[in-house]
Amino acid sequence: GGGEPLTRLAQNMFLAAPTPSQHAALAAFTPECRGILEQRRETLKERRQVLLEGLASLGLAPDLPPQGAFYLWLDISRYSHDSQAFCERLLQEENVAITPGIDFAVRGGEHHVRIAFTNDVARLEEAVARIARFVGRL
C-alpha cells in the first residue's frame, strides 16, 4: 500500500536507538571511560553512605538502600503525613530542597519524600544537620 514507505521510515526512526546514540554507548565501554564511570560510582556510593548514616539517627533511613539510583526514598510518617507541606516547610525554614513523594507515588506518597545525593559530601552533611534541626521542631 501507499503507507509502506512511511512504515519503513517510522520503523527506522522509532524501533532502535539512533546510530549516534549507539556509537556513544560503545564509547562508554572504553577502558578510559570505564575508569571515569567507576570513579563516579564510588563518589555516589560515598555520598549515599553519608546520607544513610546521617538520616538513620533521625529514623529516616530506608530499610533497603538503593542499589542503582542517586536518591533515597524516605518514609517521613513519624513526622508528617503531608509530604508536600513537609517539603515546603523544610525549604522555607532550612533552605533544603527535597521532593514530596506525591510527585512520584499515588499510594504512600503523602508520607514519603525523595532526596537526591547529587551534591558533594559537605553539602549533604549540612543538609542532614538542617533536616535534623527541622524535624526536632516538629
For residues 59 and 78, give the distance between their C-alpha atoms in angstroms, rounded to a whole number. 8
**Domain harbouring 13, CATH code:** 3.90.1150.10
Do 113 and 62 meet the contact criterion of CB atoms below 8 Å apart? no
Q: What is the mean pLDDT of residues 69-98?
A: 96
DSSP H or E stretch at residue 115: strand 112-116
Total number of domains constituting the chain: 1
The more confident residue out of 74 and 28 is 74
In the DSSP assignment, the letter for residue 103 is: G
Is 90 exceeded by the pLDDT of residue 100? yes
Kindly report the average pLDDT of the chain as a whole number.
90
The more confident residue out of 134 and 65 is 134
**Confidence class for position 20, pLDDT limits 50, 70, 90:** confident
Range of the domain at 40: 4-136
Q: At what angle do helices 31-56 and 121-136 cross, to 10 degrees?
A: 20
For residues 88 and 98, give the distance between their C-alpha atoms in angstroms, rounded to a whole number. 9
The pLDDT value recorded for residue 126 is 97
